[in-house]
Structure 1
Amino acid sequence: MNEVSPQETQTRMKDGAMLIDVREQSEYEDVHAQGAKLMPLSEFAASYSELPRDKELVMICRSGARSAQAAQHLLDNGYSHVSNLKGGTLAWQEAGLPTEAGAS
């Protein structure tokens, strides 16, 4: 599975990639990477098919473990342009990249 840095993710988002946050609603509302779309891992199996197959998808969670599961699920189900953000939201914040709080 392809892993990307927070900086690389931000560049890819400018080129049209979607950042998908698979943490739970309360975690997302506390803080999330600017532009991230919430799709909790607990609901992922039921909702992943809503994600476009023609766009690059970068998965993010708190530290990278849950998003790796979600990325693998997408790859197993025929998605090809999928990456995992290495280090998750913690790495995004450490890199000083923009964050938001509250619901999407």
Structure 2
Amino acid sequence: MSAQNPRSENLQLVTVDVHAANDLIRSGHRYLDVRTPEEFNRGHVDVENCVNIPYFFFNPAGRVKNTKFLEQVSAVCSKDDHIVVGCQSGVRSGYATTDLLKAGYKHVSNMEGGYASWVENELSVKKSDDAEL
């Protein structure tokens, strides 16, 4: 019988579609938008319990991981919070969700299709007054 790391057994990326994400958020889950502040300000999921902490920043050389991501999340979320993570298309949020699970967050789900799918499914969005879309 081999010893298994219990942490790796629990490290399973859970992905939910936007309708399931909407239900989870409306029932009290926190929504973590990992897009850049610029993307977030152009429009985001319209929920009360929403926080924007970028996973990547974009600069002329390409994308750069936010080295303070986990620190910034831990300032506003506990490892026992129920969190739905979203981005623009579902890719960055998948990376962010995996990092959160590895860091010991227990109840984290990745929103499949991201904000683009949220908009496509005509779910409620909030746009900044000065956003140009």
Structure 2 length as normaliser, TM-score?
A: 0.73
Q: Which has the higher contact order (CA 8 A, sep 6+)?
A: 1
Q: Which runs of 4+ in 1 moved over 6 A?
A: none
CA RMSD between the two structures: 1.5
How do 1:1-104 residues align onto structure 2 when only pairs under 5 Å count? 1-35=13-47, 36-41=50-55, 42=66, 43-50=68-75, 51-102=77-128
Report deviation, 1:14. Answer: 1.8
* 3-state SS in 1 of match to 2:93: helix
Count of aligned positions: 103
Q: State the identity %.
A: 30
* 3-state SS in 2 of match to 1:11: helix
Describe the superposition over 1:28-82 as per-residue Cα deviations: whole angstroms up to 9, x where unpaired. 0001111232111124133121212222101000001111111011100111100
Report deviation, 1:13. Answer: 1.2
Report deviation, 1:96. Answer: 0.6
**Where is the helix percentage greater, Structure 1 or Structure 2?**
1
- Any conservation in 1 of the 2:70–2:100 contact (CA below 8 Å)? no
Letter in 1 for 2:71: A
Give the Cα–Cα distance (whole angstroms) in 2 for the partners of residues 65 and 97 of structure 1: 20
Larger Rg: 1 or 2?
A: 2
Segments of structure 2 that go 5 or more residues without pairing to the other structure are 1-12, 56-65
Give the Cα–Cα distance (whole angstroms) in 2 for the partners of residues 71 and 83 of structure 1: 7
